[in-house]
Structure 1
């Protein structure tokens, strides 16, 4: 049930609907990719089928979301936000020298619409995988679908500007930035007359001051401010001191929620000054199902985050984590064994940050304790 004094947000980390996911959907684009490991995106579908069984292609547009759709609808969120880690384009101008290039054909946009996504962060290391033409088409297709974007644009001013989402008489401002530690090439940084992503440099007081100025320039009384940040490597639970300090500074600068991502698996979360910091939300949708390595992280297990923020103050009132398993390129409710593993693992990481996890009343999700 919603708390009438709160705004409810649904958040997901990396949503990677390109490559193998694109190939199973009705509007599949050109399967050619330019990787040393694989030359056809259909190869990732084959790997998933070898792991968990056949997929009847083409699937429905809502297929990748699977059982998550009903659980998302039940939460009745006011705003749904994801980090969209793929270009949405027909462009064939792949970025030379980059080892992986994600692309979803624009005809598959109904897959995002099926989940009623409201806002996308684009400040990540795959949005320019198909060049500046691919970025321009991505922005155009998302806007045409009524999905707001932040973190990438035609200029630095556009990339750094927030996506604005109405919340009754209030607004939600989504700022999005990327950090080189996540693999965003420095050449992708937007500037005064060049398109690209809002790429920040050192996690310093100077960088925070720049973000604080952008918040101050955009914020109106009553606005809720979410800062999406793509940072860190793909694997590991350790949160470096400078990253944690920077997240605290972002809260001090006016953020009501820090929404981090890049790691392929969920990382710990904490609460600082009554504001939630999600250091790494992990992937929600990708085509990694048949790829071996890093099994200790159980990366087939995914989380969706349901966050209640006080309407008046922006303070965190409730944070629920809903677990899923990706199987046959589709989200399924996590079984009891997987839920237990996730709760224990993330509970350990949250305790290191001064928080904890407990089971929800129905035993099927986790609630952050602080």
Structure 2
């Protein structure tokens, strides 16, 4: 068990609920309780108003478009995505929440087609339909053989890592956390008796220390460790100081990659002590096309992060960021379907500028 490079695919939020769910083969109940939109099909019509009719029902691979070809060609050793939706038939809307995401369980092939090795579920939409909706989500993903991290039937399960076998007998441990700053209600926290998310009320040194202890208890010699964190606001390029401190404390404690997400567009990254910190990966699949506002952030542009780590040390060996463009249209797939990958970029120097 020595030498070599391990390559990970990381991306931001995969939002297969709401409008995306409605164009798949088994659309769920379209009812919404948003201030201005009461039917998920309205998001489909908004997208169609920009590029024409969507050929629904679409194939499960359609939401991913050419991203699947990028993944096939890259052949990463592990694929990690943040599934930002509940997977449920439930209709009990979480109170005091403006936006609710759900996809019908029969549409799970739209996630499975990307072959994620770890599906992160610590985010601000996984309990949009209550604890019953969370339990159904976990059951559906489990029956499909998809590993989850960041939520569970109790706190021990929520904070436990997903373990992925790697070449040479190594292991990848993926821990996932949901921070209050991303809009996760405190009542969603997993406890000893209640299901919920691995909740972090504040990005403090004490909270980082607790996470490091989880990593150290679960790990063994030769393991690589990723901590995936749903944190921060939807828009803007500023990285709050508390995120930087928290991420640095994780790396100081032995974490090899910090995988941040929540913002709808990519945010800065950093290489700290030869470890990669992604402060915001941006959305990868969503139903936002046609929604006005925030155009300056170009949230239609997506990044696939292909992270290469030295297998022995966990140090960053290389980073390729493949830019793609999301577009619904009659002739192109909705995510990444009309833009060819425009080469890659390599980053090995410390940087927090976009």
Give the TM-score category using the shorter length: over 0.9
- 1:301–1:334 CA contact under 8 A, matched in 2: no
**1:86, CA displacement in angstroms?**
0.2
The normalised TM-score by structure 2 is 0.94
Q: Distance between the aligned counterparts of 1:251 and 1:155, measured in 2?
A: 26
**3-state SS, counterpart of residue 335 of structure 2:** strand
**1:34, CA displacement in angstroms?**
1.3
- 1:120–1:150 CA contact under 8 A, matched in 2: yes
Structure 2: runs of 5+ lacking an equivalent: 350-354
Q: Distance between the aligned counterparts of 1:330 and 1:306, measured in 2?
A: 22
Q: Does residue 368 of the first structure (1) align with residue 352 of the second (2)? A: no
**1:202, CA displacement in angstroms?**
2.3
- 1:118–1:146 CA contact under 8 A, matched in 2: no
Q: Distance between the aligned counterparts of 1:55 and 1:132, measured in 2?
A: 33
Match of 1:248 in 2: 248
Q: Distance between the aligned counterparts of 2:22 and 2:337, measured in 1?
A: 24
* Count, aligned residues: 342
Q: Distance between the aligned counterparts of 1:242 and 1:34, measured in 2?
A: 33
Match of 1:196 in 2: 196
Match of 1:332 in 2: 336
Match of 1:5 in 2: 4
Structure 1: runs of 5+ lacking an equivalent: 340-362
Q: Distance between the aligned counterparts of 1:92 and 1:335, measured in 2?
A: 37
Q: Distance between the aligned counterparts of 1:320 and 1:44, measured in 2?
A: 32
**Structure 1 residues 100-122: Cα deviation after superposition (integer angstroms, max 9, x where no partner):** 11001010111111111111111
**3-state SS, counterpart of residue 125 of structure 1:** coil
Q: Distance between the aligned counterparts of 2:204 and 2:133, measured in 1?
A: 32
**1:206, CA displacement in angstroms?**
1.0
The normalised TM-score by structure 1 is 0.90
**1:334, CA displacement in angstroms?**
7.0
| Bigger relative contact order, structure 1 or 2 (CA pairs below 8 A, ≥6 apart) | 2
- 2:247–2:258 CA contact under 8 A, matched in 1: yes
RMSD over aligned Cα atoms: 1.4
Q: Does residue 306 of the first structure (1) align with residue 306 of the second (2)? A: yes
Q: Distance between the aligned counterparts of 1:275 and 1:218, measured in 2?
A: 20
The list of structure 1 runs, each at least 4 consecutive aligned residues, that deviate by more than 4 angstroms after superposition, is 333-336
Match of 2:151 in 1: 152
**Structure 1 residues 314-364: Cα deviation after superposition (integer angstroms, max 9, x where no partner):** 11101111111111171236759xx9xxxxxxxxxxxxxxxxxxxxxxx52
Q: Distance between the aligned counterparts of 2:173 and 2:213, measured in 1?
A: 14
- 1:323–1:334 CA contact under 8 A, matched in 2: no
Q: Distance between the aligned counterparts of 1:203 and 1:97, measured in 2?
A: 24
Q: Distance between the aligned counterparts of 1:154 and 1:117, measured in 2?
A: 21
Q: Distance between the aligned counterparts of 1:295 and 1:369, measured in 2?
A: 30
**1:201, CA displacement in angstroms?**
2.3
